[in-house]
Structure 1
Amino acid sequence: MRLIPTDDQRELAASVRSFLAGTAPMARVREIAEAPEPYDVRVWERMSGELGLPGLAIPEAYGGAGAGHGEVAMVMEELGAALTPSPFFASAVLAANVILRSGDVEAAKDYLPGIASGGTVATFAVPEPGGRGVRAADGALHGTASHVVNGADADLILVAAEDGGLYAVESDAEGLARTPLETLDLTRPQARLEFAGTPARRFGPADAGEAVQGALDLAAVALAAEQLGGLRHCLDTIVEYAKLRVQFGRFVGSFQGVKHKLADMHCTYEQAESIVRYAAWAADESPSDLPVAASLAQSYMGRAYFQVAKDHLLLHGGIGFTWEHDAHFYYKRAKSAQLLLGSPRHHRAALAERLDLLP
């Protein structure tokens, strides 16, 4: 098991970090959050053309770089630290993995090259709890999918229907209505999709449940890496603040209560990093361990990131509660990410089931 990133992975992370600092600083993130556009198209084009990020883990046969999920985790960590609005998670993680896991070669040939180049933005409508949501009949879809990441701006929408099949829907298909949602997290656009006899292409196996779950496990690992990046940012910035902020004639970092809180946050980060590195390793090197690793990562990271983001906000004092400070962006991302692919409670139950601990 390798829990320490390779030199190539560190170099990739450093390149992405430098790129985001120059093209999508927090001031730009704020502008996008308050704009009607879900992300900066020019930044996405540069992420695709200059860095090749959308195709990072897509096989070379389909126009990608053929890297691993460990590399995707490094990219997600930097995107999470910078809170960069982009369709990377929806397209390169969720949608790409659904297609690859489906085993449908024709669908892969048709869709993955566009996703890899960044020219096609795709997304996956994560199934509703209990399997309810979208029905398929005579090659058309009926029903509603809620909280679809980048659902309002995606060119290609993948849907897991109630019949167990996977379906691909073009953005201009008849009978498709897309409504952007007002959500807590202003940096991750979501939408409600309504299908009213919408033509769709079926792909993958007759029962795609296993393929969907495998893709969701990979997405859970990627999301955990994003949460780790946000947690790291919160820890780094509050430590610097505690070194500089003076209160009652002393640096606030010299107060015992603040020291204890910072130590707790650091310990949380150390554990979080180990869990995420293990999950990313399992995704590449030990597929049989992936289900447990994915549930472990989300059961821990959801609570860990939110707690650190909350303490990050509180330790800034009054300024941390203002709109002008960036702390609330990380707090909101931490809460939305905590629920995006299932709550920590949901993943603890899944972890117990996967470890065969249930009576």
Structure 2
Amino acid sequence: MKTLALGIFALILATASCKKNKSAGKEQGEQLPDVELKTRVVSSSLSHVWELIYGPDQQLWITERGGKISRVNPETGAVTLLLNVPGVVSNGEGGLLGMAINPQFATNPWVFIVYNYNSGSGYREKVVRYTYTGGALNSPMTLLDMIPASSIHNGSRLLVTSDQKLLITTGDASTAGNAQNMTSLSGKILRINLDGTIPSDNPFPDSRVWTFGHRNPQGLVLVGNKLYASEHGANSDDEVNLIVKGRNYGWPNVEGFCDKSGEQAFCAANNVVEPLMAWTPTIATSGLTYYNADLIPQFKNSLLLLSLKGSKFTQLKLNEAGDKILGSKDFFANEFGRLRAICQSPDGKIYIGSSNGNNDKIIEIAK
């Protein structure tokens, strides 16, 4: 176990003490309290960990981009392969990506995955539901396919809500204009029933579209009735957004806030939602979760965000209403490389997964 002292004062002490601590908090907005964290490598020798879920069986469920779904014992680090998903084609940033487990697992032990594959029409993406029985994933059922895909910008974070709907983020798949095209599944957050049908209360009739105008959203978390997403910008303005039913998030006409003259006109005409926070230079925002456990009280009522290019873990403190970010603090900068997947155990431990493609790790964070 390794203790990391965080905060500006702790950074000064660390520098004077043979640099025992490699990471320190970088404050933005409201100054957030310091916290000492301990990290432990649970498993290593993995490849491009994309999803990480604390399962109902007290195991960590993971996907690796090459096509593997595995369960990982959080105590011993033992990795048990569940399935090498047939048909997965890993191309650039594509492959086996997001996964979600049904919150009503005891009644319907469904596991949902999204992955890229080759079709007669080119590289595409599909969402498949498996049933977990007898220690294996069985009975695959395709819920949605022929989603445009690319070697970049595939979105692909999944979330099953308490009302038994499946949310799916999709990127623009390298065709930016499709994000504003309501007939395209690209550049959207989609919402479907768990059998693949379209919910009657979606904002647009006979459409899977929940929100649109997204470039490449790769983080998604629901907190009460508020939905948050993280999104990759282009050359500027990575974002964290509060997702509102039926709204437009601007891409490719708007990057980040509505702060340029052309953007302001588009925002006014198209009811665009501005981000809660944006990063320039970009950090490649990815995995996102919400923390409200007692184990690390300094993190309570915070979004926890991972970044790929930024190679760090960021705390985003929310206000009581959950509609503003009061301050941010960075941890573990450049310590574990590119970070993509994050989850939390019921007792408040945090697990993160790296995505470097070489000896990737699952790391436990505790206090």
Scaled to the shorter chain, the TM-score interval is under 0.3
Normalized per residue, the structure richer in strand is: 2
Output the TM-score relative to the length of structure 2.
0.25
Output the TM-score relative to the length of structure 1.
0.25
Normalized per residue, the structure richer in helix is: 1
